[in-house]
Amino acid sequence: MPRYSINDEYFLWLYAIVNGQKDYSKLASYFHGIPFRWTIENDSNRLLDGYALREKFLQDSHIRYSDTEKESLLYHSVSFFEVVMVLCDRMEFQLADLESPSKHHIWFEELLGNIQLDVYVGDFRMTRRNQEAIDYSINVVLDRTYDPYGNGSLFPIIRPNHGDVRTVELWYQLENYLEERYPV
């Protein structure tokens, strides 16, 4: 039985982290094909986080990959899916109860809901209309065309601590969102 390519194995490893009761595999796969782009300087740090995910995958993998395979994984663009995964991981770190199992799948579904893509569950048909809607939501996030409160973004808030959230890096948007949504 032939094994999957390293890129497919990596996607399956990533998706297993957020796989919950609802099947978002088709949507996640689509996200994984979209390169992350940024307009705020420090959001480039999310690329480093994406590369760190790849390194963790290689460390956790029980499969021996050739140097060529590793290079094919390590040297292509970080995807939108990887960045969303990094943000879910940060939410898990900030909000986790050490006694409970991982809630990555809950954070993933929450972020999908924030950008109104949580309706694309299961084996939905990727019609032109669906693809346009998905692309629109992703582009709103990546191009920061959401409103000053983040409506349409991954992290909508009521009271922006740093002013117009379109000018704030994702990491601080996330922190503000968590402070407002999950006060300690």
Q: Rounded mean pLDDT of 143-162? A: 92
Whole-number pLDDT of residue 113: 97
Q: How confident is the model at residue 1 (pLDDT cuts 50, 70, 90)?
A: very low
Q: Rounded mean pLDDT of 102-121? A: 94
Query: Is-above-0.85 flag for pTM?
Result: yes
pLDDT of residue 37 exceeding 90, the answer is yes
Q: Give SS3 for 59.
A: helix
Round to whole Å and give the CA distance between 175 and 155: 9
For the chain, give the mean pLDDT: 91
Whole-number pLDDT of residue 123: 82
